[in-house]
């Protein structure tokens, strides 16, 4: 039998996951709408698509990784380990952010 505090923690964790999933889906939907609009107007650019799965970007130093974590904190995957130089980004991360991360991780 679970204690009341354990049940409360489970409820809070489930709500957090539900909200996070909703937020990610909203970002994906917005990116899709932007892409559809660009196709209709012919303004298609070479911005990568939003991430459809968790992706890891490696950086040369911990300082670079921490700077990226700070700047793009809203797109970090909840499993990202701040002790490492590899940074994990959640699915739904916008294409513009992906392009910038790819550029920075190559440097």
Task: Give the pLDDT score at 64.
Answer: 92
Average confidence (pLDDT) over 41-60: 78
Average confidence (pLDDT) over 38-61: 78
More confident residue, 17 or 38: 17
Report the mean per-residue pLDDT for the chain: 86
The rounded percent of the chain whose pLDDT value lies above 70 is 93
Q: What is the per-residue DSSP string for 17-69?
A: HHHHHHHHHHHHHHHHHHHHHHHHHT----PPPPPSS-EEEE-SSHHHHHHHH
Task: Give the pLDDT score at 26.
Answer: 85
Please state the domain extents for the chain.
4-106
Task: Give the pLDDT score at 63.
Answer: 93
């Amino acid at each position: 039998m679970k204690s009341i505090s354990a049940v409360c923690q489970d409820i809070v964790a489930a709500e957090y996951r539900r909200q996070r999933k909703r937020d990610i889906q909203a970002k994906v939907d917005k990116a899709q709408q932007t892409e559809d609009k660009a196709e209709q107007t012919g303004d298609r650019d070479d911005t990568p698509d939003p991430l459809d799965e968790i992706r890891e970007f490696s950086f040369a130093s911990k300082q670079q990784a921490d700077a990226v974590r700070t700047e793009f904190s809203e797109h970090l995957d909840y499993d990202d380990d701040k002790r490492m130089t590899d940074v994990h980004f959640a699915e739904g991360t916008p294409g513009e952010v992906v392009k910038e991360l790819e550029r920075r991780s190559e440097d």
